[in-house]
Amino acid sequence: MDAPKQPRKKIDLNRHEMPKQSPEVRRHNFEEVALGYSAETAIEEASRCLQCPKRNCVDACPVEIDIPAFVECIARGDFARGVLVLKEKNCLPAVCGRVCPQEEQCEGSCSLVKKGGQIAVGRLERFLADWEAGQPEMKLPEIPPFTGRKVAVVGGGPAGLTVAGDLIKLGHKVTIFEALHKMGGVLVYGIPEFRLPKIIVKREVDYLIKLGVEIVTDYVVGKTRTIDSLLEEYDAVFVGSGAGLPWFMEIPGENLNGVYSANEYLTRMNLMAGFLFPGYHTPIKSHRRVAVLGGGNVAMDCARTALRLGADTRIIYRRSRTELPARLEEVENAEEEGVIFEFLTLPTRYIGDENGWVKAIECIKMRLGDPDASGRRKPIPIEGSQTVYEVDAVVCAIGNSPNPLIAATTPGLEVGKKGNIVAEEATGKTSKPRVWAGGDVATGAATVILAMGAGRKAARSIHEYLCSLP
């Protein structure tokens, strides 16, 4: 006799929203905007998952997390098991749960999307990571015996942290060399406190230290020591030094005081507010009117930071709202908080005062033509549509290239036209033997999770190489 068919799970399209600080309150503080799910809400959200046989969400995850498995653990209330499943593939879950563009990856591939819904994978990931942080003790995976092989990782950002986490769990000795004072790269010096608290990054780094990863800060590879020098001591080197060379508009007046790169502006803010070094502050001029150029997540970070520092803030973007590359959640947060958006607007020059400070920015209005090489409609200037905005600061957030230091001091390392280290996409291998690279230093500025995905691929390739050695 055939077994009775199990009833099909009822589909629930009502996603649980994330509780947040109100815009009226949060625009005046640097505390985290999103407040996180409660255990009850997390269980309810996880219970919506259909546990599909075809795991589209896993296929869309750059770091290959077994999403249905950890979501099912939450639905059962087995949070401890869920953490173990999550950390099998991701050593930075609290970070990814906050800044990963899930809507374009795992959540965007959810089977419920076809019916107008999706599972809040990122929020559930954040919930598990935060739940673990509240436990009296953190469970560590068993580390195999030392293989006798040593790997140097250049850069303590998301790519480097991922490589270190993967290789230490395979029994290799790993040392991370970070140029700045704190580990985390863009996670601590770039992303503002209200989106990713520094204590979260420290917690993730501390986890790697407990696994056995050695950390060396204030160490500039390419100056303190070269890649070739590291290769004399280490069996392999991974370069994940990021993209720290900012782009500018190259328009008249760019050398005026008050014209910042996004890198400089956000780093100064983090230092000024004491988020990186409690009690230590560096001066930054108090601005009343700030213009931010660009439409990505970094532009949103800069504008929302300027707003919290008391400035009337506008984002100037040459395309329309539809083409904004920033996450929709960040755009909506910025709008709710009072950031003004000037769409279809292109800066043409900066105007300075008698003391050499920027006092205004001249722009021209645009219209959208046919799609360009990026697939987006090309902005075309409208003659005679110039307008001037009064400002006392401009933040240029239009992109970055890799710092040329490592490429300039490493013979035999192939570099692309934009200064990026050329590396195989599938393995991270470079033209130089025993050297791998990944993340923004290879691809140009991209997302945290894509950098981590590159780190995962490189770690797999490095491990294969180390296992092949006699």
pLDDT confidence band for 177 (50 / 70 / 90): very high
Burial of 53 (0-12, 13-18, 19+ CB in 10 A): exposed
* The predicted structure's pLDDT at residue 33: 97
Q: CA-to-CA distance for 427 and 424, rounded, in angstroms?
A: 5
For residue 277, pLDDT beyond 80: no
**Residue 152's closest CA among 46, 226, 207?**
226
| Lowest model confidence (mean pLDDT) among 8-22, 64-78, 131-145 | 8-22
Mean pLDDT of 19-30: 96
262-271 tens-digit pLDDT:
999 998 887 7
Contact at 8 Å (CB) between 435 and 227?
yes
Question: Tens digits of per-residue pLDDT, 338-373?
Answer: 999 999 999 999 999 999 999 999 999 999 999 888
**What integer pLDDT is reported at residue 278 of this predicted model?**
62
Q: Using one digit for the tens of pLDDT, what is the confidence trace for 102-118?
A: 999 999 999 999 888 89
pLDDT in tens, 138-175: 889 999 999 999 999 999 999 999 999 999 999 999 99
- Work out the percent of the chain whose per-residue pLDDT is above 70: 95
pTM here is 0.92
Residues present in the chain in total: 470
The DSSP secondary-structure symbol of 157 reads S
Mark out the alpha helices in 216-356 (DSSP H runs): 227-233, 262-272, 297-308, 328-337
Ramachandran bin of 242, using left for φ above 0, alpha for ψ from -120 to 50, beta for the remaining angles: left
> In the predicted model, what is the mean pLDDT of residues 1-13?
62
CA–CA gap between residue 165 and residue 458 (Å, rounded): 12
- By CB atoms closer than 10 A (0-12, 13-18, 19+), residue 119 is buried
- Which tokens is 153 given? 């990782």
Q: Summarize pLDDT for 304-316 with one digit per residue, the tens.
A: 999 999 999 999 9
Calculate ∠ Cα 270-274-276, nearest 5°: 65
Lookup result for tokens 């008050």? 258
pLDDT band, very low/low/confident/very high, at 281 (cuts 50, 70, 90): low
pLDDT at 459 over 90: yes
- Residue 10's pLDDT is what? 73
pLDDT at 426 over 80: yes
Average pLDDT, integer, range 424-443: 97
All domains of the chain in start order, with CATH = 23-133 (1.10.1060.10), 150-244+401-468 (3.50.50.60), 248-398 (3.50.50.60)
Do 97 and 32 form a contact (C-beta atoms < 8 A)?
no
Task: Kindly tell me the burial class for residue 121, based on how many C-beta atoms sit within 10 Å of its own C-beta (0-12, 13-18, 19 or more).
Answer: buried
Q: Is 51 left (phi over 0), alpha (psi -120 to 50) or beta?
A: left
- pLDDT-based confidence at 1, cuts 50/70/90? very low
Query: Is 259 strand, coil or helix?
Result: strand
Q: Which of 464, 350, 436 is nearest to 396 (CA)?
A: 350
More confident residue, 463 or 372: 463
Closest CA to 45 of 23, 63, 67: 67
Torsion of CA 306, 308, 309, 313, to 10 degrees: 40
Q: Shortest CA distance to 185 belongs to which of 176, 194, 175?
A: 176
216-268: pLDDT as tens digits:
999 999 999 999 999 999 999 999 999 989 999 999 999 999 999 999 999 88
Alpha carbon of residue 432 to chain centroid: 27
Residue 276 pLDDT class (50, 70, 90 cuts): low
* Chain CA centroid to CA 233, Å: 31
Q: In what order do the strands lie in the sheet with 150-154?
A: 214-216, 173-177, 150-154, 236-239, 435-437
Task: State the Cα–Cα distance between residues 125 and 109, nearest whole angstrom.
Answer: 16
Q: Is the pLDDT of residue 7 over 70?
A: no
CA–CA distance, 186 with 403 (Å, rounded to integer): 14
